[in-house]
């Protein structure tokens, strides 16, 4: 009888750990850098000429600085600091 109780609490313990890791994984995905200030920057600066879907196309991380530079040459209004922030964000979240 005593053994059964111990086993049950083991199962509970394992389930609690599993629930915890699902929660952590879930947060990692939902997070996707949503609270990153660079995201707000992209959403205000990169929609002037095309959709966000276009801006969030996956590129290799080496391509991002080139693409963002090209956007500046098209007329995107970005300071050097904003450009660096955006490139870092896109490399972290939208790289192939
Ligand atoms: C002044 C207008 C303008 C702004 C602002 C702009 N873009 Fe673009 N974008 C373009 C044009 C025009 C094209 C299509 C021609 C090309 O690819 O260069 C394009 C194409 C793209 C492409 C697809 C091309 C490729 O090689 O993958 C991506 C990705 C992109 N833009 C990302 C961005 C991001 C990120 C921002 C914000 C930093 C941004 N754009 C802001 C004009 C703009």
State phi, psi for 95 to the nearest 5 degrees.
-105, 145
Q: The whole model's pTM is what?
A: 0.76
CATH architecture of 34-96: Orthogonal Bundle (1.10)
Spatial neighbors of 49 by CB under 8 A, at least 6 apart, are 74, 75, 76
Looking from the CA of residue 90, the nearest atom of ligand 1 is: 35
**Alpha-carbon gap, residue 15 to 10, rounded angstroms:** 9
Q: Tell whether the model's pLDDT for residue 1 goes beyond 90.
A: no
Q: For residue 85, what pLDDT band results from cuts at 50, 70 and 90?
A: very high
Q: Among residues of the chain, what percentage have pLDDT more than 70? A: 67
Looking from the CA of residue 77, the nearest atom of ligand 1 is: 5
**Alpha-carbon gap, residue 8 to 73, rounded angstroms:** 65
- Secondary structure letter of residue 79 according to DSSP: -
Q: Tell whether the model's pLDDT for residue 42 goes beyond 90.
A: yes
Q: Where are the domains of the chain?
A: 1-31, 34-96
């Amino acid at each position: 009888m005593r053994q059964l109780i111990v086993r049950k609490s083991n199962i509970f313990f394992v389930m609690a750990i599993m629930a915890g890791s699902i929660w952590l994984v879930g947060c990692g995905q939902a997070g996707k850098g949503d609270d990153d200030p660079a995201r707000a920057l992209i959403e205000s600066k990169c929609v002037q000429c095309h959709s966000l879907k276009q801006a969030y196309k996956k590129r290799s991380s080496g391509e991002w600085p080139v693409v963002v530079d090209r956007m500046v040459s098209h007329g995107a209004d970005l300071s050097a600091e904003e450009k660096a922030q955006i490139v870092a964000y896109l490399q972290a979240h939208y790289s192939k």
